């Protein structure tokens, strides 16, 4: 006889895992190798404080027995099955030993391990501010000082006091060490002077790292530096600051999108407190001093004068939670819990939650929600919080009326155990599945996923193979350091641990300093000071935190998606994350130090991309096979072939700006006869695409990537001069103007969101003789809708509108001609706008500008091969948070405008939509830092509003896993540039699948210039020969589309280069010669025919 039940499979249990009250659960058992008609199966359940229940199961046929029951109240339901067959011993079916779910095991005795069902009450108002963010934990005394720290700290530590003494540590870098008395107790508490103001001063850095909440270890007045021995719940510890400092911290944090979570120590106080007052350091009569003290009832005293305390620690007397005074002071309307929420906190973490009764926890929860309906209540629970037994009682932490969740120590144990080899991948997967099954989804979403804390060794020391601390004197715990080799190993493991942390359900929590690889064993080693900026030299772990968290941001279903874990072998762990819309990814971790592994996983979509390596994966028979190096990792993003992108034709095209088109008179190319002739050449060559640079107005240096508007057309691209256009305008007005020209009216209506603002801006600029907007008078310092009627500007604004109309007519005519010739035009939009632009002037709230319109943050780029010193571009960066609030209206208008101009749009600096380099205005490039962009949210909004998006992503530069994940989720084809290949292209061109292959770009050397320099030792004829072969190989490759700057088609050297990044002058002037283009027409057409890329002849 065989009985089969697996609590994790839908054919045996529906729905999966924890359920809300009122849910009916269906269970099934399959009976094999026995006559089901002779069998009786019974479901046995057990609920604490209720007892046993039994339910007969129904035979549905084929040996399948079923039962269904309703879960009416929050509780834990334990269940197993009883099978009776006449003439045979009774058999029980329960959970595996030591587990609460999974594949059942048969037993021949009654008290078998049971399966668990968590029944919970749904919380209507969720703490989304917490669930969707990241937490930064701070131990306040060791984080950061402010300018007044010394005076404030000395004032407190020098006060005469009885009991344990205090001293100030002057040297911020002195390793913490306890000075102990002969009996082992603390003789003196050390204070380093960290403060609330110190934390506030560092808020911008914390926000820039993407943290949305700060969990503060206790901040209330206390005798010790850890402050878990509270002296007065109603006062901020004077060494840390004042209540006003706390309020200002909360206000400053909120402006940066950060919430504050406080540490609530409500199981005990300090014996040196206003409540207990053991040493008489406070003026009132404390519980220790007299039985008549109003606080006597707040503690548990025995007849012999002894008292209950936390785990026998005498300086932490336990609170009597039944005391009316305690309950009022903690839970009342003006009590501690609500007071500090009103002062600015957004949630509480409860210290030693196991020591607090379920009823008391429920009352705390009520007080928290009464003050802030979306507040958080988190508990310190070291085990599985769904079924924790504390002091002989099964706790109700996660059933809806108490904790939102707990500190996820089981997650930490699983990560460390797996990476360090204490458990294999199968055991780690089982740990994950147990959490998935036992925790309500709401509790799993709120679990605080930590790797380090003030109570545990720092993660970098653990992963580097830190010593057995029992063999190490306490004074060495903060001084012990990894050697260079061990630190290297620790960093490799830290990437895997952080990647798991950022891709796991719940909220990642980084303990201060872990982002800098701060070392330290247990207390006091794990409570070292945070190094100051000038002391930081190794940023590897910071890059790891940034890159791993960027993946979480780029793949939002890593936050709220389902998880399912499995092992691929003893050393390789994997888990799938699946979003509500079916979007999914598989995270794969190889923990081995020595072994590479080839593994195979199910393909969960039409296509698969590895966002760690950037490789596109092949799918064979519904599976993906990949290789993992030792300590290797992959995130395989499963997706449809069609995502947000518009499909692209597979052929070839030419990159040439309009000004580079040849003309008969040698002047820059214009829209009209020169461009029509150029289109004829492209058509004869067999090209499908013509890519141009941005057609917006340029700046003084003629850069199409900078200018006075992100929307307007560049009227200098018209064949008529502005003087001639002004004359045409007068003639047009004389013939009736707008009243007689319905096309003009339609044009104004289509472009109403930007046209007037731009025209008024240009009129004001002309009136003030080209002065910067920053020098304009106050009455025109910012756009307002009445300026169009100002006599100073009205006529010029009308002329500007007319010239934009003429640009629109000429451009539409050009596009129609190109389409008739089978040519699609690829346009280009710069990432940023100029500081002196109509955009920044008319809508300053969209940019990081001060109240006076001055830039606060400007764009740039860190050092790279183009610019070793980095680049300061000077454009104001976007206020993405503000833009998100209004549905990215400005960007939707901009994209709509781009789609009206071009067939396809190249998105310049695509990586900036994921993370952008921002430099404080007036600072050097070295002071810049990477900040989070809008990610997929912007493009999903555009897709929902505009439909499939015909973008090309300029994804050149520093491609992190986060950028790759963004590109994969959007589906926009990226750029593969020959010059940037990491292999010898002379041995064959191997394009990245799905990307557009560019032979060069307007920002690089020409193909011939690069080949001459890199492969021909400076000999240009040889360089031309190599370039010609590479051009042929590129066109013969399997790249879906090959784009060639016209300079490459013509075989020109770097003398024809279009732009040198970081150099302001001498750019954007190259122009082709008509004879060269005509001469190249025939051989280029033949080349495209030979490589089957001639448009229309494929």
Q: For 282-335, what is each residue's pLDDT tens digit?
A: 999 999 999 999 999 999 999 999 999 999 899 999 999 999 999 999 999 999
Give the pLDDT confidence score for residue 959 in this predicted structure. 85
Angle subtended by helix axes 1074-1090 and 1020-1036, to nearest 10 = 40
Residues 6+ apart with CB under 8 A from 971: 639, 641, 642, 643, 644, 645
Closest to 565 in 3D by CA, of 776, 732, 423: 423
Give the pLDDT confidence score for residue 473 in this predicted structure. 86
Neighbours of 31 (CB within 10 A): 23
As a whole number of angstroms, the distance between CA 239 and CA 565 comes to 47
Average pLDDT estimate for 935-950: 97
Q: For 993-1033, what is each residue's pLDDT tens digit?
A: 889 999 999 999 999 999 999 999 999 999 999 999 999 99
Give the pLDDT confidence score for residue 1098 in this predicted structure. 61
| 682 pLDDT higher than 90 | yes
**Is 1025 an active-site residue?**
no
Residue 521 φ/ψ, nearest 5 degrees? -90, -155
Domains and CATH numbers, the chain: 2-120 (2.60.40.10), 135-144+193-267+320-551 (3.20.20.80), 268-319 (no CATH), 556-628 (2.60.40)
- Spatial strand order of the sheet with 448-450 comes to 405-406, 376-379, 347-350, 259-264, 213-216, 135-138, 507-511, 448-450
Give the pLDDT confidence score for residue 866 in this predicted structure. 64
Asked if 610 contacts 515 with a C-beta cutoff of 8 angstroms, the reply is no
| 570 pLDDT higher than 70 | yes
Asked if 461 contacts 452 with a C-beta cutoff of 8 angstroms, the reply is no
As a whole number of angstroms, the distance between CA 970 and CA 951 comes to 10
Give the pLDDT confidence score for residue 861 in this predicted structure. 87
| 564 pLDDT higher than 90 | yes
Q: For 709-728, what is each residue's pLDDT tens digit?
A: 999 999 999 999 999 999 99
Q: Which of 202, 908, 976, 979 is catalytic?
A: 908
**Is 292 an active-site residue?**
no
Give the pLDDT confidence score for residue 1028 in this predicted structure. 97
Give the pLDDT confidence score for residue 933 in this predicted structure. 95
Give the pLDDT confidence score for residue 650 in this predicted structure. 83
Determine the 3-state secondary structure of 80 from DSSP. Answer: strand
Give the pLDDT confidence score for residue 870 in this predicted structure. 86
**Is 908 an active-site residue?**
yes
Q: For 422-444, what is each residue's pLDDT tens digit?
A: 999 999 999 999 999 999 999 99
pTM: 0.93
| 967 pLDDT higher than 70 | yes
Q: For 107-134, what is each residue's pLDDT tens digit?
A: 999 999 999 999 999 999 999 999 999 9
Q: Which of 954, 976, 1048, 1081 is catalytic?
A: 954
* 130-134, 612-616, 1046-1050: range with lowest mean pLDDT: 612-616
Give the pLDDT confidence score for residue 180 in this predicted structure. 93
Closest to 836 in 3D by CA, of 751, 762, 916, 897: 762
As a whole number of angstroms, the distance between CA 1051 and CA 1029 comes to 11
Q: Which of 1003, 1033, 1074, 1076 is catalytic?
A: 1003
As a whole number of angstroms, the distance between CA 704 and CA 906 comes to 14
As a whole number of angstroms, the distance between CA 1000 and CA 1002 comes to 7
| 864 pLDDT higher than 80 | no
* 50-59, 417-426, 644-653, 804-813: range with lowest mean pLDDT: 644-653
Distance of CA 268 to the CA centre of its chain: 38
Helix (H) or strand (E) holding 5: none
Q: For 756-801, what is each residue's pLDDT tens digit?
A: 999 999 999 999 999 999 999 999 999 999 999 999 999 999 999 9
Give the pLDDT confidence score for residue 700 in this predicted structure. 85
Cα separations in angstroms, 990 against 148, 576, 624, 998: 61, 31, 21, 12
| 926 pLDDT higher than 90 | no
- Please tell me whether the peptide bond between 1061 and the residue prior to it is cis, using omega within 30 degrees of 0: no
Asked if 515 contacts 214 with a C-beta cutoff of 8 angstroms, the reply is no
Average pLDDT, the chain: 96
Give the pLDDT confidence score for residue 412 in this predicted structure. 98
> DSSP E strands: which ranges in 891-1004?
904-907, 915-920, 929-932, 951-953, 975-977, 996-998
| 373 pLDDT higher than 70 | yes
Per DSSP, helices labelled H in 787-855 are 794-820, 838-842
Q: Strand pairing partners for 24?
A: 70
Give the pLDDT confidence score for residue 1063 in this predicted structure. 80
As a whole number of angstroms, the distance between CA 716 and CA 861 comes to 30
- Please tell me whether the peptide bond between 714 and the residue prior to it is cis, using omega within 30 degrees of 0: no
State percent of the chain over pLDDT 90: 94
Torsion sign over Cα 274, 279, 284, 286: positive
């Amino acid at each position: 006889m065989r009985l089969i039940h697996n609590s994790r499979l839908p054919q045996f249990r529906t729905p999966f895992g924890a359920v809300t009250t009122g849910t009916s659960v269906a269970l099934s058992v399959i009976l094999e190798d026995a006559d089901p008609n002779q069998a009786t199966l019974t479901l046995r359940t057990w609920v604490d404080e209720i007892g046993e229940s039994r339910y007969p199961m129904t035979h549905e046929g084929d040996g399948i027995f079923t039962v269904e029951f309703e879960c009416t109240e929050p509780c834990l339901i334990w269940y197993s099955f009883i099978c009776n067959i006449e003439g045979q011993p009774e058999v029980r079916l329960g959970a595996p030993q030591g587990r609460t779910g999974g594949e059942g095991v048969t037993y021949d005795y009654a008290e078998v391990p049971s399966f668990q069902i968590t029944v919970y009450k749904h919380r209507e108002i969720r703490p989304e501010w917490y669930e969707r963010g990241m937490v930064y934990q701070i131990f306040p005394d060791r984080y950061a000082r402010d300018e007044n720290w010394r005076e404030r700290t000395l004032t407190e530590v020098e006060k005469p006091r009885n009991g344990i003494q205090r001293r100030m540590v002057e040297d911020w870098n002195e390793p913490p060490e306890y000075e102990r008395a002969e009996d082992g107790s603390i003789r003196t508490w050390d204070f380093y002077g960290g403060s609330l103001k110190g934390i506030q001063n560092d808020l911008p850095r914390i926000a820039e790292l993407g943290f949305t909440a700060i969990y503060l270890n206790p901040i209330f007045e206390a005798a010790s530096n850890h402050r878990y021995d509270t002296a007065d719940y109603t006062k901020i510890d004077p060494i840390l600051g004042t209540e006003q400092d706390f309020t200002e911290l909360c206000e400053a944090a909120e402006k940066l999108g950060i919430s504050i979570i406080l540490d609530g120590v409500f199981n005990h106080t300090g014996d040196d407190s206003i409540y207990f007052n053991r040493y008489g350091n406070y003026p009132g009569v404390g519980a220790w001093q007299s039985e008549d003290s109003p606080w006597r009832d707040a503690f548990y005293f025995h007849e012999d004068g002894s008292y209950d305390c936390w785990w026998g620690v005498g300086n932490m007397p336990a609170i009597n939670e039944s005391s009316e005074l305690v309950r009022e002071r903690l839970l009342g309307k003006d009590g501690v819990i609500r007071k500090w929420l009103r002062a600015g906190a957004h949630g509480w973490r409860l210290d030693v939650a196991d020591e607090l009764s379920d009823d008391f926890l429920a009352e705390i929860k009520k007080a928290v929600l009464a003050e802030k309906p979306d507040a958080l209540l988190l508990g310190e629970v070291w085990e599985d919080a769904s079924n924790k037994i504390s002091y002989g009682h099964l706790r109700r932490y996660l059933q809806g009326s108490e904790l939102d969740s707990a500190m996820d120590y089981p997650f930490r144990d699983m990560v460390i155990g797996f990476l360090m080899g204490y458990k294999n991948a199968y055991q780690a997967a089982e740990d994950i599945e147990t959490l998935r099954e036992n925790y309500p989804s709401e509790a799993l979403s709120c679990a605080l996923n930590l790797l380090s804390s003030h109570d545990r060794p720092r993660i970098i020391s653990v992963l580097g193979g830190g010593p057995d601390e029992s063999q190490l004197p306490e004074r060495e715990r903060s001084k012990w350091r990894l050697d260079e080799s061990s630190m290297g190993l620790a960093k490799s493991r830290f990437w895997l641990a952080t990647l798991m942390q950022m891709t796991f359900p719940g909220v990642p929590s980084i303990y201060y300093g872990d982002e800098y690889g701060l070392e330290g064993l247990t207390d006091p080693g794990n409570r070292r000071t945070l190094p100051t900026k000038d002391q930081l030299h190794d940023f590897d772990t910071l890059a790891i935190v940034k890159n791993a968290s960027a993946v979480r941001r780029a793949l939002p279903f890593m936050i709220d998606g389902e998880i399912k874990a499995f092992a691929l072998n003893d050393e390789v762990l994997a888990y799938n994350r699946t979003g509500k819309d079916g979007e999914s990814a598989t995270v794969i971790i190889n923990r081995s130090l020595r072994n590479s592994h080839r593994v195979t996983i199910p393909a969960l979509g039409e296509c698969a991309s590895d966002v760690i390596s950037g490789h596109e994966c092949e799918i064979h028979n519904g599976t993906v096979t990949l290789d993992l190096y030792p300590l290797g990792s992959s995130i395989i993003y499963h997706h449809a072939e069609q995502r947000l992108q518009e499909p692209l034709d597979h052929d070839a095209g030419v990159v040439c700006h309009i000004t580079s088109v040849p003309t008969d008179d040698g002047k820059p190319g214009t829209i009209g006869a020169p461009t029509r002739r150029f289109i004829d050449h492209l058509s004869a060559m067999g090209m499908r695409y013509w890519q141009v640079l941005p057609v917006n107005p340029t700046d003084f240096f003629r850069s199409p990537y900078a200018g006075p508007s992100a929307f307007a057309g560049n009227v200098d691209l018209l064949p008529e001069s502005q003087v001639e256009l002004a004359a045409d305008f007068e003639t047009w007005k004389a013939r009736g103007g707008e009243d007689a020209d319905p096309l003009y009216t339609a044009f104004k209506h289509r472009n109403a969101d930007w046209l007037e603002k731009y025209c008024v801006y240009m009129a004001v600029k002309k009136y003030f003789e080209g002065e910067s907007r920053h020098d304009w008078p106050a009455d025109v310092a910012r756009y307002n809708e009445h300026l169009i009627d100002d006599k100073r500007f009205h006529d010029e604004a009308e002329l500007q509108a007319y010239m934009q109309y003429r640009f629109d007519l000429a451009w539409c005519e050009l596009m129609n001609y190109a389409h008739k010739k089978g040519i699609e035009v690829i346009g280009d939009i710069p990432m940023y706008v100029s500081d002196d632009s109509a955009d920044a002037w008319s809508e300053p709230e969209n940019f990081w500008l001060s109240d006076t319109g001055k830039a606060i943050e400007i764009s740039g780029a860190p050092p790279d091969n183009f610019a070793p010193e980095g680049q300061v571009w000077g454009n104001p960066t976007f206020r993405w948070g503000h833009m998100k609030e209004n549905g990215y209206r400005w960007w939707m208008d901009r994209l709509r405008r781009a789609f009206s101009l071009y067939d396809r749009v190249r998105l310049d600096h695509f990586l900036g939509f994921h993370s952008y380099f921002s430099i404080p205005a007036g600072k050097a490039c070295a002071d810049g830092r990477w900040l989070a962009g809008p990610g997929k949210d912007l493009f999903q909004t555009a897709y929902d509003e505009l439909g499939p998006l015909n973008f090309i992503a300029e994804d050149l530069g520093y491609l992190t896993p986060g950028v790759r994940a963004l590109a994969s989720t959007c589906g926009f084809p990226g750029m593969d540039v020959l010059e940037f290949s990491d292999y010898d292209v002379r041995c064959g061109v191997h394009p990245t699948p799905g990307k557009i292959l560019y032979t060069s770009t307007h920002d690089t050397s020409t193909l011939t210039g690069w080949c001459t320099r890199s492969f021909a030792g400076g000999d240009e004829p040889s360089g031309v020969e190599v370039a010609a072969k590479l051009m042929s190989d590129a066109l013969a490759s399997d790249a879906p589309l090959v784009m060639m700057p016209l300079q490459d088609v013509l075989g020109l050297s770097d003398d024809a280069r279009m732009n040198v990044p970081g150099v302001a002058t001498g750019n954007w002037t190259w122009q082709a010669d008509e004879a060269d283009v005509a001469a190249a027409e025939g051989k280029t057409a033949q080349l495209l025919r030979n490589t089957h890329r001639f448009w229309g002849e494929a």
